[in-house]
Amino acid sequence: MTIHVLILCTHNSARSVLGEGMLNHWARRLGRDVQAHSAGSAPSGRVNPYAIEALRHAGVDTGGCRSKSWDEFSRDGAPPLAIVITVCDSAAAESCPVFFGGTGGPPVKVHWGYPDPSHAEGGDDGKRRAFELTRQAIGYRMLQLLALPLETMDRAALQQALTEIGRS
C-alpha cells in the first residue's frame, strides 16, 4: 500500500517542490512504495525556475512539477495522506499553513523549516547556490524518512521519528 506524503509551503514554488522531487526520486531509487505530493495554501501558480534547475542537476525528473493548491488533497478521490510536512521558515516569521483536510484518518504532521532560497542574495549565482543547498538539506531528510520502517510504525512512533529527523 502506497504511503502518501504531502509537503506544504505557502506558495508551492520552491521548498515544497524540492521536497516532493527529492522524496519521489529517492523512493524510486530505493524501491520504496512512497509517493510525495506538494501543495500550497496560496500557490503562486508557477514553480521557481531555480528549483527546477536544482532538481534537474541532481538527476530528478521534473516533468510533473507544478504549483498547486492544497485543496486538491481535501477533495473526494484525493490520496489518503499518511504524513504532512510543512517546510516554511517560522524563524523568518513566515506564516506556515495548517492543513486540516485530507481523506482517510488524520495524517502525522511535522514541521521541517528551511529559509526561502528565493530570497537569497548574490544575484543568479547566489540563488542557484541557495537552491542547491536547500535541495541537499531537504534531500537528506527525505532519505532519513525513507530509512524508517514506515509500514510497521504506529502514529506515535512515526511522529517521534519525524520530529527527531527535523532536529537533525
Q: Which domain holds residue 46?
A: 3-167
| pLDDT score at 98 | 60
Task: Spell out the residues 6+ positions from residue 33 whose beta carbon is closer than 8 angstroms to its own.
Answer: 1, 2, 3, 27
Cα–Cα distance measured from residue 97 to residue 151, given in angstroms and rounded to the nearest whole number: 27
- Which residue ranges in the chain fall short of pLDDT 50? 91-92, 94
Residue 95 has a pLDDT of 55
- What pLDDT score was predicted for residue 123? 95
Is residue 65 annotated as a catalytic residue, yes or no?
no
Query: Active-site residue 88, yes or no?
Result: yes
CATH code, domain with 128: 3.40.50.2300
pLDDT tens per residue, range 150-168: 999 999 999 999 999 999 8
pTM of the prediction?
Answer: 0.92
Q: Which of 58, 96, 133, 150 is catalytic?
A: 96
The pLDDT value given to residue 92 = 45
Grid coordinates belonging to 15: 521548498
For the chain, how many structural domains are there in total?
1
Q: Which of 88, 146, 161, 165 is catalytic?
A: 88
